[in-house]
Amino acid sequence: MTERVQLPGPLVDAAWLAGHLDRPWLVVADVRWSSTGGTAEAQAAFERGHVPAAVFLDVDRDLAASPFVDGPGRHPLPAPDDVAATMRAAGIDDEDAVVVYDDTGGSVAARLWWMLDVTGHPAAMLDGGLSAWTGPLETGPARARARGTFSTPRSWPSERLADADDVSAAAGGGEVVVVDVRAGERFRGETEPLDPVAGHIPGARNVPWADHLDPATGLLLPAEVLRERYAAVGVHRADQAIVHCGSGITGCLGLLALRVAGLGDARLYQGSWSDWVHDPSRPVTTG
């Protein structure tokens, strides 16, 4: 019988990854992304140095569909058939465990973690990302892998997603808290580098994605600290929360943090702020 992995949880540390790197059931995925330089810049960073044997997956090309066409917002979720094709092309099998990382504390890699986890595939994130990896780096393009057998397209579970109507209802008051993980200055409307309108959804609470990380180590904060931070904005169970960001990418780090905190699984507002402001009739506030 082929040995299969038992991941220790949604996070793995660098020592665990180093000790399992040669296992045939483990795939490491580099999910670095550049919002300005696009796929080419992210690919170049990968080729300058990556965890040995890692595959490269790009947010725009591999982890999102056409913006505002195939779904809501700048990074709508790709169709399940397209996800399966992408995973096969990367050499990933249905039962492989995938460990994801980036160079921004997981703010991008968590998107792939969530996409796999929410559809029942074993996945974890390297805590601390590339900066936590102390082993040697490999340079150049990704090693060639045999085409994978990731053959089962799985629909995105509706109970784990929210749309603008859900968010509007939650923002009107009640048990569900809308959590915005964008940086504080974007939430307050002081700057908006990516979307046409600055500000936030009325009633939303701000827990910036960077505040989920230890500023000294880049590691995800301990579970008890994460619980305290979410309790401070009124979230005591993840099913009380809808999490969003600018376009559905960094919001996934909030979802992972809620899981690590032991609070369960929240919903992702797929289109996030980019979808909210796409309709000029929706209310926006600043400050």
User: Domain extents for the chain?
Assistant: 11-132, 158-276
CA distances from 34 to 18, 86, 114, 180, 223 (A): 27, 20, 19, 21, 29
pLDDT at residue 1 above 50? Answer: no
Q: Quick one: fold of 11-132?
A: Oxidized Rhodanese; domain 1 (3.40.250)
Q: What is the pLDDT of residues 127-141, one digit of tens each?
A: 999 999 999 999 999
Q: What is the CATH number of domain 158-276?
A: 3.40.250.10
pLDDT confidence of residue 5: 63
pLDDT at residue 37 above 90? Answer: no
Whole-model pTM? 0.96
CB 262 within 8 A of CB 217: no
Identify which of 66, 155, 84, 149 has the alpha carbon closest to the alpha carbon of residue 118.
155
Of 31, 142, 243, 245, the catalytic one is 245
* Strand positions, DSSP E, 75-199: 97-101, 123-126, 161-162, 177-180
pLDDT confidence of residue 174: 83
Q: How confident is the model at residue 10 (pLDDT cuts 50, 70, 90)?
A: very high
Identify which of 210, 207, 181, 208 has the alpha carbon closest to the alpha carbon of residue 104.
210
pLDDT averaged over the chain? 95
Judge if 11-132 and 158-276 fold alike in CATH terms.
Answer: yes
| H or E element, residue 244 | strand 241-244
252 is known as an active-site residue: no
Sign of CA dihedral 35, 37, 38, 43: negative
